[in-house]
Amino acid sequence: MTGKTAFETRYGFARKDVRLETWRLSPFNRWSFQNVGELVPSAHVAAVPGGEEQAKPLGALLSEKITLAGGSETIEGFLKRSDTDGLTILKAGKFVGDWSAPHMPFGARHIIFSISKSVTAVLAGILEGEGLLDPNAPVTRYIPEAKGSAYGDASVRNVLDMTVSLDFEEAYLDPESAFARYRRSTLWNPGGGSESLAAFLMTIQRLAEPHGQTYRYRSPNSDVLGMLVERASGMRVTELLAEKLWLPLGAASEMSVTVDMEGTARTAGGMSMTPRDLARIGEMMRQGGTANGRRIVPEAWVRDTVATGGSHEAWQRGTMVFLFPKGRYRNKWYQTGHDSGAFCGIGIHGQWLYVNPKTEVVIAKMSSQPEPVDDKLDVDIVAFLEALSGMV
């Protein structure tokens, strides 16, 4: 038999070509981003039983035109140009449309990469409301072994706001970097299994600059946050997600998170879920921390996170000012500084959770962009999401 398999016909490559060393590369990521659990050990969080959903096509909206820096293009054209796999739009709490690429069935789970940070921060907000986690406490109150690392004199607030003065670079494409060692400790790269994620985190050292001054996007901070919520609560991340967030949220589908050799959850980037369930998290935040008539996270925490908190000065000293010139960063969420009051979670390879309070719109966009970071495209995506949120 010499014909192509159904898998090869659908994706354009063979399943055997998707390996630990290739899963984040194009075109293999079109499949792997929906099936991370076949490549990296993962723990699962069940959803509310009976949560079957039907797709709601975007219809005529797809042919509407939107004007970006490079000119005018249709919404569908931009979705394809930006390698979108799945898109879901909510308005005023109701699903108004879904779009899926041919290789992503409706209802499939997809890795959200660093939006996982934003989700983990919601757990931190819940624990803060319960009096179990103090954002102003030193990290060592909860993780004594952090003494001697960069976190030895940092606060939980520094971890939450990415203002730890961390001597670490997000070198996504350098196989010899400390970042590659970090990835091995998470079992995301070949060669892992000899050093746990927690052990690696405790080896990172600090820069001379005091903590709290500069926004530095460093993923290890968010894995440390996972350790903090576990130590503060006495529960595993997956238990916290199930009890405190996923079931109260009314999530319709199971979610998962990758784990290391010790079962430690990759809270900086390992979560997978459906576009609709991701949108539900955004809607919960838009509603001030409630879902289904039930409070999930304190309203004051949400307001601080998406509107009033965060240091404009620290953001201005960082490297993402080009994306949000008037922005701030608080509790792992981005405040855009737009007149709409929009806020968002962002993940590499094109993952977005965009919330526009003014238009009451939430947009979840999951993608398989070839490059981990594409600054020029990100600027277009922000403009696209802001415009789209005003069109539905």
Distance of CA 161 to the CA centre of its chain: 15
Active-site choice (114, 149, 185, 222):
114
Give the C-alpha separation, 371 to 88, whole Å: 23
Residue 116 among the catalytic residues: no
Tell me which H or E stretch contains 160.
helix 156-160
Q: How far apart are the first and last CA of the chain?
A: 49
Give the C-alpha separation, 20 to 80, whole Å: 26
DSSP annotation of 166 reads B
Give the C-alpha separation, 351 to 275, whole Å: 10
Q: How many CB atoms within 10 Å of residue 72?
A: 9
For residue 109, which of 327, 264, 277, 221 has the smallest C-alpha distance?
Answer: 277
Give the C-alpha separation, 1 to 135, whole Å: 61
Hey, which residues does 367 pair with through a beta bridge? 84
Residues catalogued as catalytic: 114
